[in-house]
Structure 1
Amino acid sequence: MSGLYLGLMSGTSIDGIDAVIAEFEAGRLAKLHAAHHHDYPPPLRARLIELSLDQPGISMREFCTLDVDIGLSFAAAAREVISRSGIPVGAITAIGSHGQTLFHDGPRGLTLQLGDHNRIAAATGITTVADFRRIDLALGGQGAPLVPAFHHAMFADFREPRCVLNLGGIANITVLPGAGIDGVIGFDTGPANGLMDEWMRVCSGLAFDAEGAFAARGSADEELIAALLSDPYFARPAPKSTGRDYFRLDWVRSRYPRIDALRTEDVQASLAAVTARSVASAIKEAAPAVARLIVCGGGVANTLLLRLIGEALPGVVIESSSQHGLAPEWIEATAFAWLAMRRIEGKSGNLPAVTGASHLSPLGCVVLPPG
């Protein structure tokens, strides 16, 4: 079956919506026909970042308004990528929309993604699959990470042990021990771009640290690093998942109250080191025989961070996912196109060894376009 599917994704960095149109054959990616990044309106993005970090109480009116506004932004991203592609709407089998995560507590079975998928289906005229995480939670899983199943479909045609690292707002890994699905594991390792971006906004007003240049000006503080890496999350066994609501600046300040006594660039260097060391430690523990690390997500552009990870993993080949057929910035949106395809075909999308769910299951709710 397979065919053309449209994937929509906005990650925990909340930097906008990635939209792709992907063609699948026999369940594997055959071609990426189009890709587009759609920015959130600045006031909406600012409010989403605030809510994802602090979770203040909001009115039901604002909650419902946000759900609609995010859904309309996702619909706009879908229409734009369709327009750019020249592909007829009727040729696209379905949209897979992840929505915008505002809260995730996998161990307690709680997650919240906004972005009304009814609005997406109505605005595009295309069947829309969304709300991917909650059936896995209902089956006793953590609802995350969900992309490892796609990582296996995309990168597992090999004989060497490999690991896929996604550097988004949160870092997560997928361990691929061989071509078969048995033995595939994955989990969130801890903070990545989200924590560093938050510090950049506080200390400089910038949205992110381009190429890690600000961190490169500083010197990592080993006392701060030790205080952060002593958090119990890093030693917790998989399955495990987390979010920016946990790994935020309040978390840093609670574990190291003297942070404001340090130079701002030294703090940034330390946060980069925490990400690199926690990633490397997780890989050494979960995949000691790994020979190749395939990196995707926005963190691929942070050259300092990649250098630190490489120094912590001597002997491991580190390379971008683009060297394996798909640019790092489009991996997750393509994954949700793939998950939509799996749902339409009635096939499983989760991996119980990754999420902790009791069994395999198709993921997501299906909304048919009206009329």
Structure 2
Amino acid sequence: MAKYIGLMSGTSMDGVDAVLCDISLNSCTTLAAHSLPYSSELLSALNALCIEGPDELNSLAIADRLVAETFAKVTLELLEQNELSASDITAIGSHGQTVRHHPNSDVLSAHFAKSSIRGFTCQIGDPNTIAVLTGIDVIADFRRKDIALGGQGAPLVPAFHNAVFASDDKYRALVNIGGIANISLLAPKRETSSPKGFDTGPGNTLMDQWISLHLNKSFDKDGIWAATGQSHSGLLERLLLDDYFALPAPKSTGREYFNINWLSNALADYFPSSAELQSEEKNNNLAPEDVQATLLSLTGSTIAQEIVKHLPKTNKEGLKSEVVVCGGGAFNKVLMRYLSSALSDYVVTDSHALGIHPQHVEGAAFAWFAHAYENNIPGNVPAVTGASKAAVLGARFKQI
């Protein structure tokens, strides 16, 4: 066994997670974890970097260093809390902070013709700075090799989920609900099948942005605000018309697509000025909490419909398949009830059932990716990302 630390901050940007793991070729055990929020100044800058705007290059370069300093600080505090030194850690696996994800070349540029634009993904958090400040080698830059091989660069976690969480005999889906939701579809180990997976669409990001706009809160704790509203079936149908939901895998997305502007455009489209609208819909007067309830239904329904489509309900012995939820969405009680109801033919639980806190799964994943790099284990699954081949992901940044 060797100790690794995984560093992760997802599209929700609700904090940096550092997860300490003991990892061997056959197991990954979470030992401890620690989290830190970004400073308000840095969080504001990161949110701004997720959309096109002025002063991007300078802001990106500064944020790159400040994110790294936050990652280093949470690492050092984790070591102190567990009475460990840098020499006890084989390596850090750092995901970085995603600020743009456009693997399909779906951007415009003032400097390049459309034929010259290439797909890309951008994660910041300078690994050189993390290595120097912690005294630990850092493995980072996990996504761009897959992009170079023609893949989406996401989701990467199915390889980790399959290695660590596949059942001996049951079908299992791992559902990560961060800002964006993704699923990993795992066959029983005895079938020796490769995992499948993709981003289903928005996870928490639209709900977070909507409650921030109306209540100045960063997230809807336990789904309480959504529970005060009523999901609007007509609006939900309009939101589900987005082309992304009908795309076949491989596919991935981000908050540069599913954001408050996307929602505003959908609301404006659904509530035009028309005398034919129902009285409750006139003048775009759907209550904000009803929109929140509808956004929760959007997340739940897009996850549930993909699981029903792709995951068998039982194995050949009749044992029910399992749906295991992780990420921040696992703590949204209303969303979990929605999934349990929509997936009543499955066993729905969270990752506590597999021995790991839902908030620590992604951090543990990048500890595992560092281990995979060290042991020449491919980190991508071509059937998931669309890459032309499997590859060892990442690069090493030495502490001296």
2:313 corresponds to 1:289? yes
2:103 corresponds to 1:73? no
Structure 1 CA distance for aligned equivalents of residues 180 and 124 of structure 2: 18
Question: Equivalent residue for 1:342?
Answer: 372
The alpha carbon displacement at 1:25 in A equals 2.0
The alpha carbon displacement at 1:365 in A equals 1.3
The alpha carbon displacement at 1:181 in A equals 4.9
Structure 2 CA distance for aligned equivalents of residues 134 and 41 of structure 1: 27
Give the gaps of 5 or more residues in structure 1.
Answer: none
Mapping 1:154-303, distance limit 5 Å:
154-179=164-189, 180-257=191-268, 258=271, 260-289=284-313, 291-303=321-333
Write out per-residue CA displacement over residues 242-299 of structure 1, whole angstroms, 9 at most, x where no aligned residue.
Answer: 0011111211122221395210100000000000111011111222436210110001
Does the CA contact (< 8 Å) of 1:152 and 1:181 recur in 2? no
Write out per-residue CA displacement over residues 73-130 of structure 1, whole angstroms, 9 at most, x where no aligned residue.
Answer: 1111111111111122101110000000001122333101010000000001111011
Structure 2 CA distance for aligned equivalents of residues 312 and 288 of structure 1: 15
Question: Equivalent residue for 1:146?
Answer: 156
Write out per-residue CA displacement over residues 127-173 of structure 1, whole angstroms, 9 at most, x where no aligned residue.
Answer: 10111000000011100001111111121132111111011000000
Instruction: Kindly provide the amino acid, as one letter, of the partner of residue 266 in structure 1.
Output: D
- Bigger radius of gyration, 1 or 2? 2
Does the CA contact (< 8 Å) of 2:171 and 2:312 recur in 1? no
Provide the secondary structure at the position in 2 that maps to 1:330.
helix
Provide the secondary structure at the position in 2 that maps to 1:96.
strand
Does the CA contact (< 8 Å) of 1:107 and 1:240 recur in 2? no
* Percent of residue pairs identical: 42
Does the CA contact (< 8 Å) of 2:49 and 2:56 recur in 1? no
Structure 2 CA distance for aligned equivalents of residues 271 and 239 of structure 1: 24
Instruction: Kindly provide the amino acid, as one letter, of the partner of residue 131 in structure 2.
Output: A
Does the CA contact (< 8 Å) of 1:167 and 1:192 recur in 2? yes
Provide the secondary structure at the position in 2 that maps to 1:283.
helix
Structure 2 CA distance for aligned equivalents of residues 287 and 269 of structure 1: 26
The alpha carbon displacement at 1:62 in A equals 2.0
User: Among 32, 42, 46, which residue is 2:40 paired with?
Assistant: 42
Provide the secondary structure at the position in 2 that maps to 1:318.
strand
Higher mean C-alpha deviation, range 259-268 or range 326-335: 259-268
Instruction: Kindly provide the amino acid, as one letter, of the partner of residue 18 in structure 1.
Output: D
Q: 1:39 to 1:83 in 2, by over 3 A?
A: same
TM-score normalised by length of structure 1 = 0.96
2:30 corresponds to 1:32? yes
Does the CA contact (< 8 Å) of 2:6 and 2:19 recur in 1? yes
Does the CA contact (< 8 Å) of 1:106 and 1:240 recur in 2? no
Does the CA contact (< 8 Å) of 1:33 and 1:85 recur in 2? no
Structure 1 CA distance for aligned equivalents of residues 5 and 154 of structure 2: 21
The alpha carbon displacement at 1:27 in A equals 4.0
Instruction: Kindly provide the amino acid, as one letter, of the partner of residue 275 in structure 1.
Output: T
Q: 1:59 to 1:219 in 2, by over 3 A?
A: closer
Does the CA contact (< 8 Å) of 2:27 and 2:164 recur in 1? yes
Instruction: Kindly provide the amino acid, as one letter, of the partner of residue 40 in structure 2.
Output: P
Instruction: Kindly provide the amino acid, as one letter, of the partner of residue 2 in structure 2.
Output: G
Does the CA contact (< 8 Å) of 2:138 and 2:396 recur in 1? yes
Structure 2 CA distance for aligned equivalents of residues 338 and 59 of structure 1: 32
Instruction: Kindly provide the amino acid, as one letter, of the partner of residue 160 in structure 1.
Output: K
Structure 2 CA distance for aligned equivalents of residues 56 and 369 of structure 1: 34
Q: 1:59 to 1:188 in 2, by over 3 A?
A: closer
Mapping 1:304-319, distance limit 5 Å:
304-319=334-349
Q: 1:194 to 1:59 in 2, by over 3 A?
A: closer
Does the CA contact (< 8 Å) of 1:34 and 1:84 recur in 2? no
Question: Equivalent residue for 1:357?
Answer: 387
Give the gaps of 5 or more residues in structure 2.
Answer: 106-118, 272-280, 315-320
Question: Equivalent residue for 1:60?
Answer: 57
Write out per-residue CA displacement over residues 166-215 of structure 1, whole angstroms, 9 at most, x where no aligned residue.
Answer: 11000000001211552410000000111100000001101111100000
Structure 1 CA distance for aligned equivalents of residues 293 and 125 of structure 2: 35
Instruction: Kindly provide the amino acid, as one letter, of the partner of residue 284 in structure 1.
Output: V
Provide the secondary structure at the position in 1 that maps to 2:379.
coil
Does the CA contact (< 8 Å) of 2:45 and 2:63 recur in 1? no
User: Among 115, 123, 127, which residue is 1:117 paired with?
Assistant: 127
TM-score normalised by length of structure 2 = 0.89
RMSD across aligned positions (CA) = 1.4
Q: 1:276 to 1:77 in 2, by over 3 A?
A: same
